[in-house]
Structure 1
């Protein structure tokens, strides 16, 4: 943050100059005022001498009038150009005290209302984390600096789950739901974190969360998987088979977790006493083909004047009807633009949330000086795009300032 403090110090010097310059001007004005007062005193003394000489009879009336005229002319000549208005004098102490207090008060106000934490956070996010612990620490700082960022809270919750910290993840997902609304995928993630945080004990609260999630999206994969696990733990094997079969049907054909879920279905059927060779599931409906969008990303000429080559560019896809989090994303820099990239199922942020799982998506490109994927200065967005059928190239132009 050295560059920031250098800039702040330069501004402080400018502020001190405004405070200290009046002291120098006051000294010059005071000197001018003292010289004028001396000239007036000399003039009055000269008039008194002329009056005394006239009274003594050494000067005639005409000579006295001529002397008065000479004295007046000399006074005018001495005071010519000294028309500086009188100013109230506060003395030297007030400006000097102000010069000391201004930087102290400014520093205190910046510590209270400033954004040094966000500045430092932006510097950290511009570098790739070396460990998962470092990434977690950055995300924790991000939600402290931006407590209203649903995306930051979501990624923090996912990170906690990967670190087997379900209690912390549950708090993070609760915050996401409060910010982004009761979206099915978010409710499923929240319910899953609560279930593992409470030692796999099912409750009415978890039932409500999963019911709401499936009401909004009958194929919400996290809720289906969680309901199957809970049913199996409670020896409700028929329910476990039903939920897991729905889950397998909802997952893409290439999803590696399908085999593990089929194994769980087989174990549940064994507990029900069904023969090992019995059909384990109905043939699922045809899975949607993998989706890949070809995206040409460019800067509007007006925006190009205000960006730097090292500024980060985030290109991501969001579902038109679905979770608020990005489905797939890639990171570039302004120096890379214009660029042609592919964005598809292979770039999915989560295996269960792919472009092919949603009928329509929108593409967004964001320029961020701070390297923050959730907040930037300029943005461009496409219209709703169909993910089915033959895909053509999509042009995405970053052409407007992003509103807070």
Structure 2
């Protein structure tokens, strides 16, 4: 940083000296130069007349000489000399100021001074951010602070390029920051320094599994299968392999690895439920799912007396936790009791299928004007949350009014 300023000041100094020399140089007397040229021309022409007269070519020498003298006098200025000057010394001040201003503006635009200042601040904050990150009792770093810490970590690795732990930390930061390129490059560098580290291989494989590039997914598959030979019951390897095959739409392989993983997971655990949902989703995507929900709907006596003539019946199914439906069906109002079937074709979004749920809650509502949004005094019914086994029947009684 200091060297850059020294170079800049040196260049400005040279520019100012050059301008000073140019402005301080005594200008040439252009009128005097013209007189010298006219005199030279007069002498040369007079010599030619003398030579012509000697050879007898001219007969009116006196008249020619007189005319030449008149021509010379006509070219002489009224003043003996006239000096053209470029300016006075005070003109140097604004010119030098302009040169300095333009130079500073160009440096600020292209010299990276702001980046240098930001990097300097990052390097100052890095030790404190690292201490907070390593201390489990300290306040967690925000996403912005993690981004700043990753910049400081990269700067630190330039001075210590063989630090395996810091390269691994940078890779994991890349995963947290959703920067797959940073994570991949950091883990590759770490693995070059520690090629047999199983933890680094697993982390690198996870980055490749998350990648949208199919080539990265295939590379992850080869790496994970090679590791699984030596660690056949490793839950992380099995999970990553199943996720990798699922991303490649090889659902039967994904199901196989998930089912191999299930015996290692505690019943009722969040991880086991996630794996079971993954299996159901893979079966659905592969066309192997036959889950169906039969809904039986009836009306209370009060609701029967107040049915609208042109009403619409909405059936929505949730998982009993989130209010966002996993399946919805809309049909014109008709006779009751009514029985209908819902399956994955009624899903709201492909990522949340009916077949992937383990518990369900059904809501049936009669809309007077066909609006999907509940209106005041709409009649509805809601059953209690029930476990879903994949194919079963649930009943709902419409007996309440929307407040």
Shared fold, TM over 0.5: no
* TM-score after normalising by structure 2: 0.34
* TM-score after normalising by structure 1: 0.34
